[in-house]
Amino acid sequence: MSDIVGKNLQRIETPIPGLVLLELPVRGDSRGWFKENWQREKMTALGLPDFGPVQNNISFNDATGTTRGIHAEPWDKWVSVATGRIFGAWVDLREGPTFGAVFTAEIDPSRAIFVPRGVGNSYQTLQPNTAYTYLVNDHWSPDVDYAFLNLADETAAIDWPIPLSDVEVSEKDRAHPRLADVTPIPPRRMLVTGADGQVGRALHALYGDAPHIEYVTRADLDITDPNLATARRWRDYGTIINGAAYTAVDAAETSEGRAAAWAVNATAPARLARIAAEHGITLVHISSDYVFDGASLQPYTETSPYSPLSVYGQTKAAGDLAAATAPRHYIVRTSWVIGDGKNFVRTMAALAERGINPNVVEDQIGRLTFADDLAAGIHHLLDTQAPHGIYNLTGSGPARTWVDIARDIYHRTGHDSARITPVSTDVYFASASGPIAPRPRNSLLDLARITEVGFAPRDPADALGDYLAKARAAP
């Protein structure tokens, strides 16, 4: 027993990304020993994922030399032994540059290893009466994709302590393919909702048509459906980017619009958050400057209290609070989004070309956010695994009014910016026939946190020319 007692809890890296070996403290005396095989608070403090196990399995092996594997399942495992000792071998069978990488180690009760989804797992017992134990974060199902590798694969070249010719191996394991014939396990799926919106289109342009990414509109997947939890095999998903929103700000002030706004902007994010929490999914939710009343004289930070003026703002604030219940969440708060679709920049450019001299609001300040920059910021948060939470993400640079932006557009398109007449918000909407939602007069968002994690938002003035050129070139 002396060889397993007295170790300190320690994390040991391996050549396979995400595969982490841990030394476990074991306490013993004349009666035997005790260990904490999985202790969530301590393990996650060492950087292990909070992988949410749902099942505990034990494989008891009578004889020395029993050999099992190599199996890669679409779930994570936490492997140790209760009695005995094994030689473990792990092979990366995931898509990517480390496909085929190998790591081996002996595991006794004082060691455990976290095996991420898609990494092939195998072992050979080194002592009789070995109890191999593992936690998994999904239930076995015949409807999911697995990958297998032959124990004797020449490329992996695992140096088994006991030759495979001398040990007990099942016929099924002997028949598994060589590495060259293995179909790599793809990444967990990514779902992008609101794929037909400005942000959704920008995300599609950035991420492309990789087979593991699913772009959906409401016609494909209604996130307001009460049965959303059963609409997909959610354990196969690693990320949901919720780009769907009800954005008809004035229509939300009507009876019908109010109900629709609450359904899409608040209830649906709550359902997505429950799904994300249950299945270990990272939820990215896009928020709005409308969650604030605009009365502040300073830019709003991520911790500024909610104070929405309108129904739209209230529903977006409720959606933020709901999304934050997902343990792995990014709430990306933005303003004045400009992308592929109907927006202020396109409208002003069209009015200039048609010879129209518009009235434009002069008493609201903020910054434009180009949708491709917003998509790039989301990609950065996910790719760098930035700390979860709320991030303000808009264009950078000085505050501008809608009049400033409109005049810039007229100037860049070769028109006289003096054709624009500045008016107050109240005057602009004075002749409106329907309900008008109150607008925040200050939409400036503080960008310190997003820059601290390594993303530098562009100054919209630098991007506006490129955007207008592309818009003119578009059919």
Prior bond of 70 cis (ω within 30°): yes
77-108 confidence digits (pLDDT tens): 999 999 999 999 999 999 999 999 999 999 99
pLDDT at 16 over 90: yes
Question: pLDDT > 90: what percent of the chain?
Answer: 86
Does 50 or 366 have the greater pLDDT score? Answer: 366
Confidence category of residue 326, pLDDT binned at 50, 70, 90: very high
pLDDT at 4 over 80: no
Using alpha carbons, select from 297, 288, 331, 294 the residue that is nearest to residue 309.
294
User: Cβ-count burial of 171 within 10 angstroms (0-12 exposed, 13-18 middle, 19+ buried)?
Assistant: exposed
CA 71 to each of CA 93, 161, 375, 450: distance values in angstroms, whole numbers, following the listed order: 9, 19, 36, 40
The CB density around residue 390, as the number of other CB atoms within 10 Å, is 20
Under DSSP, is residue 51 helix (H, G, I), strand (E, B) or coil? coil
Residues belonging to the active site: 71, 134
Q: Is the pLDDT of residue 434 over 90?
A: no
Residues, the chain:
475
**Looking at residue 100, what is its pLDDT?**
96
Across residues 288-316, what is the average pLDDT? Answer: 97
Q: Which of 21-35, 113-127, 433-447 has the lowest mean pLDDT?
A: 21-35
Using the Cα atoms of residue 445, residue 394, residue 249 and residue 306 in order, give the sign of their dihedral: negative
- What is the bridge-based pairing of β-strands 389-392 and 329-334? parallel
Handedness of CA 214, 219, 225, 227 (dihedral sign): negative
User: In 268-340, where do the E strands start and end?
Assistant: 282-288, 329-334, 337-338
| Greater pLDDT, 68 or 474 | 68
> Do 81 and 109 touch, CB atoms closer than 8 A?
yes
At residue 378, what are phi and psi to the nearest 5 degrees? -65, -45
Query: How far, in Å, are 119, 130, 224, 242 from residue 200 at the CA level?
Result: 32, 52, 18, 9
Structure confidence by residue, pLDDT tens digits, 42-64: 999 999 988 889 999 999 999 99
pLDDT value of residue 473:
65
- Whether this prediction's pTM lies above 0.95 is answered by no
Contacts of 162 (CB under 8 A, 6+ apart): 64, 65, 67, 124
State how far the Cα of 288 lies from the Cα of 443, in Å rounded to an integer.
9
CATH numbers and ranges of domains, the chain: 10-181 (2.60.120.10), 189-473 (3.40.50.720)
3-class DSSP state of 210: coil
Give me the mean pLDDT over the 274-299 stretch.
96
CA 151 – CA 465 distance, rounded (Å) = 59
Q: How far apart are CA 313 and CA 252, in angstroms?
A: 10
Amino acid in position 180: A
Burial label for 473, CB within 10 Å (0-12, 13-18, 19+), is: exposed
- 102-126 pLDDT, tens digit per residue, is 999 999 999 999 999 999 999 999 9
Asked if pLDDT for residue 454 goes beyond 90, the answer is yes
**Above 60 in pLDDT, residue 2?**
no
Long-range contacts of 167-176 (CB under 8 A, 24+ apart): 167/65, 167/66, 167/67, 167/124, 168/63, 168/65, 168/66, 168/67, 169/67, 169/68, 170/68, 173/67, 173/68, 173/69, 173/70, 174/150, 175/150, 176/70, 176/148, 176/149, 176/150, 176/151
Partners of 282 in the beta sheet?
Answer: 239
Output the CA angle 274-275-279, nearest 5 degrees: 120
